[in-house]
């Protein structure tokens, strides 16, 4: 005799999953394969998700770590996270066909750094060392021109060359709350620091964090679908924990969720969301896995509507 399933409310956040920059990057690879045929080379993961990368690999995309691994006579695509200026410069020198899939919101940060540099300002980048986006942004200027600030402690200790000639930019996928704390320290210490004209943290990162904040007071547990390498997905877990979820976990897919640990929390309400590079079918697989274990009622909590789209490069639309 089958045991009676416990009742469980699943709070499904909206928005969740793919953002406009991820949609654009994936479409760029798909269109390049249609136009040029396989193989098309992609420098680094186009977005941080193994399922997305695997599907594109099956279609004929070849993912490489550095440009030197690509032949001169095949197209190459740069990932959504952005690349140092040296990379397209090398591609041009080799007369390669290349397409830049950098998210336009990351490109905006690149433009800001150049503007600050031409104004003679010392530039701080708030971000995580080693993340591809940070590597790309710091690579817009010569080595040493951009200083990385990772923590509140870094912000307290930093000593500028001139406190009145200082500017900051940020990685686009950070925690809104953590970044605000760091910015607050910089503004207290350096009142004349130049700020971005518009917030650098992207709309999708902000929206997904706000959605988690909205469900956290009701949910004893939170499942975030996303890759371990995805900065914005990791931040969603942190936001959930900070706002009261006893069990907040990042899982690449349903099979990676520790279901026994979830059950040990004895939740009556579980939140489900996805980072900006996680496809929707993975979310639905988690919902189905919950339905197999519980008597589930799904409630969608919508905190924002997203209608942002970004243009595809002209090379692929002609």
Q: What span, in angstroms and rounded, lies between the C-alpha atoms of 265 and 83?
A: 43
For residue 145, what are the CA distances in angstroms to 85, 148, 181, 191, 226? 14, 10, 24, 21, 33
Q: Which residues contact 153 (CB under 8 A, 6 or more apart)?
A: none
Q: Which strands, in side-by-side order, build the sheet including 98-100?
A: 61-64, 40-43, 76-78, 98-100
Tokens of 132: 């591809």
Please say if 112 is a catalytic residue. Answer: no
Beta bridge partners of 43: 64, 78
- Looking at the chain, which runs of residues are DSSP E strands? 7-14, 40-43, 61-64, 76-78, 98-100, 122-126, 146-149, 166-170, 221-225, 247-251, 269-274, 295-302
Task: Count CA atoms closer than 13 A to 318's CA, side-chain side.
Answer: 4
Residue 305, helix vs strand vs coil:
coil
Q: What span, in angstroms and rounded, lies between the C-alpha atoms of 241 and 248?
A: 6
Q: Are 253 and 49 in contact (CB under 8 A)?
A: no
Q: Of the listed 114, 133, 145, 152, which one is catalytic? A: 133
Tell me how long the chain is: 318
Task: Indicate which residues carry an active-site annotation.
Answer: 133
């Amino acid at each position: 005799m089958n045991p009676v399933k416990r009742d469980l409310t699943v709070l499904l956040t909206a928005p969740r999953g793919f953002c406009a920059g991820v949609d654009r990057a994936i479409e760029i690879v798909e269109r390049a394969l249609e136009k040029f045929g396989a193989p098309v080379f992609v420098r680094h993961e186009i977005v941080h998700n193994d399922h997305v990368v695997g599907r594109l690999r099956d279609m004929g995309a070849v993912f490489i770590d550095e440009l030197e691994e690509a032949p001169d006579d095949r197209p190459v695509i740069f990932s959504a996270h952005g690349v140092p200026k040296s990379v397209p410069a090398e591609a041009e020198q080799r007369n390669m066909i290349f397409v830049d899939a950098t998210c336009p919101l990351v490109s905006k940060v690149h433009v800001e750094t150049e503007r600050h540099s031409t104004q003679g300002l010392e530039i701080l980048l708030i971000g995580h060392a080693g993340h591809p986006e940070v590597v790309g942004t710091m690579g817009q200027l010569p080595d040493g021109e951009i200083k990385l600030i990772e923590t509140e402690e870094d912000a307290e200790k930093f000593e500028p060359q001139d406190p009145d000639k200082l500017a900051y930019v940020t990685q686009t996928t950070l925690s809104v709350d953590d970044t605000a704390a760091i910015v607050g320290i910089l503004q207290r210490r350096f009142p004349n620091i130049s700020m971005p004209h518009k917030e650098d943290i992207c709309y999708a990162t902000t929206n997904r964090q706000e959605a988690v904040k909205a469900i956290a007071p009701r949910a004893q547990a939170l499942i975030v679908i996303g890759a371990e390498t995805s900065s914005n997905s990791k931040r969603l877990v942190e936001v959930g924990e900070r706002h009261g979820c006893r069990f907040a976990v990042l899982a690449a897919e349903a099979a990676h969720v520790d279901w026994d640990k979830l059950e040990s929390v004895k939740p009556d309400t579980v939140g489900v969301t996805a980072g900006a590079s996680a496809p929707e079918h993975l979310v639905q697989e988690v919902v189905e896995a919950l339905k197999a274990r519980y008597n589930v009622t799904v409630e969608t909590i919508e905190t924002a509507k997203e209608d942002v789209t970004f243009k595809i490069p002209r090379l692929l639309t002609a």
